Amino acid sequence: MKKVTLLVSLFVILFASVAADVVLDTEGDVLKNGGSYHIIPALTGRGGGLGLAATGNETCPLTVVQIPSETTDGLALIISSPARIAYIAEGLLLDIAFSAVPTCAPTPSKWTIIEEDPAGMSVKISGYSNTVDGKFKIIKYQGLFYKLKFCSSAGDPCQDLGLYYDETGNRHLVIVTDETPLAVVFKKTL
């Protein structure tokens, strides 16, 4: 009887520690590995969800941007881990990709970081040769909010993602160094 009680206690402790670290969507449900979500600002009045735009010399929309209108959830994203797990936990290394991309864009449409961009180290979708090898993470930020981080494969510290406003009004998703990450939440796609 003691062995059964001990095993049940260990299972409850293990499940509670794992459950405390899972990422939740706006409905309070756990993010599913490979699930489709909109990434939107956590605070109202700060713009809409994430989408794509052609910036600089791009002839195809490859730059990840925040849509200015807060009534727009942006494009659907697939958030996935190569690990064979059912749910997304905080701090897990992830791939993030738009579920649909323009026909001029390469597929798959995984997010990458581009080193040499006027906006700084920008988030773009696949198609550039000057990328930084790495993955993304979701980390608990303020209260029920989260922030996105990029972790290079070179072993450098993970860096926060935030916004850079260019002269034409685009809101580029970039690596920020001034401690102003974009606070986000995850909304299921319909």
pLDDT at residue 127 in the model: 81
Q: What is the pTM assigned to this prediction?
A: 0.86
pLDDT average, residue stretch 110-127: 87
Mean per-residue pLDDT, 52-59: 92
- Cβ 74 vs Cβ 50: under 8 Å: yes
- Comparing 101 with 186, the larger pLDDT belongs to 186
Q: Which residue's structure tokens are 């490979």?
A: 34
**What pLDDT shows up at residue 9?**
37
> Stretch 160-185: mean pLDDT, rounded?
93
Instruction: Output the average pLDDT for the chain.
Output: 87
pLDDT for 130 equals 86
Give the model confidence (pLDDT) of 58-70 as tens digits: 999 999 999 999 9
Asked whether 137 and 161 are in contact (CB, 8 A), the reply is no
The pLDDT of residue 174 is 96
Q: What is the pLDDT of residue 126?
A: 86
The residue written with tokens 């059912």 in the block is: 86
Domain that holds residue 36: 2-188
Confidence of residue 112 (pLDDT cuts 50, 70, 90): very high
What CATH number does the domain containing 28 carry? 2.80.10.50
Which of 175, 185, 71 has the alpha carbon at shortest distance from 124? 175
76-98 pLDDT, tens digit per residue, is: 999 999 988 999 999 999 999 99
User: pLDDT digits over 1-25, tens only?
Assistant: 444 443 333 333 334 344 459 999 9
The number of folded domains in the chain is 1
